[in-house]
Structure 1
């Protein structure tokens, strides 16, 4: 894998459980790792759901292989290389030699 392609800084996040100041259970997203990646837009679509227009974009994120990345996680693309976009991982596809990992993702509404 050529390092020059990996020009975006992204953060892998996993949902964890914790407690708020009053002791009530909460589910927050905790950072797992910040890595270099290539973020590419694949497609976008608009549709009507729940009585309103919705849109969704599909992205491909290419990064070096990292064990433990799965579809329960999400990716945050923060500045300076991103605008704070959040992507839900649909599938994590390693290559045959386990040198790179391709994440198929979709946008998440804030």
Structure 2
């Protein structure tokens, strides 16, 4: 993949315990890091498979492997602008440790 296609910014968030401004322990979504990515709508067979699960707005993100190699489906989500995405799958493309292909469903509030 060409690096020039990584032309969007996305923030990786983790659900964790943190201390607020008053020193009180709370749980919630915490920004982990902001990385460059490409964003694509699903099409063809992948689109119809997602549609079976009522995943109306499924987006495929591609980031560099080293940007967040500990990323997991559980306890992580993506934020792009004001949009939030729950991660449904993560693929280490051809196990080359170069790119992560992330499928995520947009959270509609």
Identify unmatched segments of 5+ residues in structure 1.
46-53, 79-83
Q: TM-score, normalised by structure 1?
A: 0.75
Given the superposition, is the C-alpha separation of residues 22 and 31 from structure 1 closer, same or farther in structure 2, using an over 3 Å criterion? Answer: closer
Kindly indicate which of the two structures has a greater share of residues assigned to helix: 2
Q: RMSD value over aligned CA atoms?
A: 2.5
Q: TM-score, normalised by structure 2?
A: 0.75
Deviating above 3 A after TM superposition, structure 1's stretches of 4 or more consecutive aligned residues are: 18-23
Q: Which has the larger radius of gyration?
A: 1
* Equivalence map 1:1-110=2 (5 Å): 1-18=1-18, 23=24, 26-42=26-42, 43=47, 56-65=56-65, 66-72=68-74, 73-78=76-81, 84-95=82-93, 96-110=95-109
Kindly indicate which of the two structures has a greater share of residues assigned to strand: 1
Number of equivalent positions? 97
